[in-house]
Structure 1
Amino acid sequence: MTVPQQVLRPHAEQDYADELTALRAADDRDRPPSWLMSPWAVVTYLLGGELRDGTVISPKYIGPKRLVEVAVATLATDRALLLLGVPGTAKTWVSEHLAAAISGDSTLMVQGTAGTAEEAIRYGWNYARLIAEGPTEQAMVSSPVMRAMADGKIARLEELTRIPADVQDTLITILSEKTLPVPELNTEVQARKGFNVIATANNRDRGVNELSSALRRRFNTVVLPLPDTPEAEVEIVSRRVQQLGAALELPAKDAELAEIRRVVTVFRELRSGRTEDGRTAVKSPSGTLSTAEAISVLTGGLALCAHFGDGVLRAHDVAAGILGAVVKDPTADRVVWTEYLETVVREREGWADFYRACRELT
Structure 2
Amino acid sequence: MPEAQLRRPAEQIYAAELAALAKGDDHARPANWKLSPQAVATYVLGGKAADGTPISAKYVGNRRLIETAVATLATDRALLLLGLPGTAKSWVSEHLAAGVSGSSQRLIQCTAGTDENQIRYGWNYALLLAKGPSREALVKTPLVRAMEEGTILRLEELTRMGSDVQDTLITVLSEKTLPVPELDTAIDAERGFNIIATANNRDKGVNELSSALKRRFNVVVLPSPATLEEETQIVIKRVGEIGGNLSLPPIQPADKELARVVTLFREIRDGKTLNGKTKLKSSTGTLSTAEAISVGVSAWAEAAHFGDGRIDARALATNIVGAVVKDPAQDGVALSEYLETVVRTRDGWSDLYGAIREVI
Short-chain TM bin: over 0.9
Q: Give the conservation status (yes or no) of the 8 Å contact 2:160–2:205.
A: no
- How much has 1:255 moved relative to structure 2? 4.1
Within a 5 Å distance, the mapping from 1:73-88 to structure 2 comes to 73-88=71-86
Offset of 1:63 from its aligned partner?
A: 0.8
Q: What secondary structure, in the 3-state scheme, does the structure 2 residue paired with 1:204 have?
A: coil
- 2:297 corresponds in structure 1 to 299
Q: Which 5+ residue runs of structure 1 have no aligned equivalent?
A: none
1:202-228 CA distance string (max 9 Å, x none): 011487211000000000000000000
Measured in 1, the distance between the counterparts of 2:21 and 2:247 equals 28
- Helix, strand or coil at the partner of 1:169: helix
Runs of 4+ in 1 over 4 A off after TM superposition: none
Name 1:36's counterpart in structure 2.
34
Matched residue, 2:90:
92
Map of 1:247-326 to 2, 5 A cutoff? 247-326=245-324
Corresponding residue SS for 2:2: coil
Aligned Cα root-mean-square deviation (Å): 1.0
Deviation of the 1:244 alpha carbon: 1.1
Distance 1:5 1:57 in 2: 22
**One-letter amino acid matched to 1:271:** R
* Paired residues for 1:113-262 under 5 Å: 113-205=111-203, 208-262=206-260
Please list the CA deviations of residues 294-328 of structure 1 after superposition, one character each: whole Å capped at 9, or x if unmatched. Answer: 00001110011101111111011011011011110
The alpha-carbon deviation at position 275 of structure 1 amounts to 0.4
Separation in 2, partners of 1:171, 1:207: 20
Counterpart selection for 2:50 from 34, 49, 52:
52
The one-letter code matched in structure 2 to 1:245 is G
Q: In structure 1, what is the Cα distance between the partners aligned to 2:51 and 2:145?
A: 36
Q: TM-score, normalised by structure 1?
A: 0.98
For 2:80 and 2:228, locate their aligned partners in 1 and report how far apart those are by CA, in whole Å: 27
Report how many residues are paired. Answer: 360
Q: Is the 8 A contact 1:301 1:317 kept in 2?
A: yes
1:180 & 1:52 partners in 2: Cα distance? Answer: 40
For the Cα contact (< 8 Å) 2:25–2:50, is it kept in 1? no
Distance 1:206 1:282 in 2: 24
CA contact (8 A) 2:269 2:287 kept: yes
- Name the % identity: 62
Distance 2:204 2:255 in 1: 36
Could you tell me how far apart the structure 2 residues matched to 1:253 and 1:306 are?
A: 6
Name stretches of at least 5 consecutive residues in structure 2 with no aligned partner: none
The question of whether the paired residues in 1 share the 8 Å contact of 2:82 and 2:221 is answered with: yes
In 1: Cα distance, 2:218 partner to 2:174 partner: 13
The 8 Å contact of residues 161 and 205 in structure 1, kept in 2 or not, is answered as no
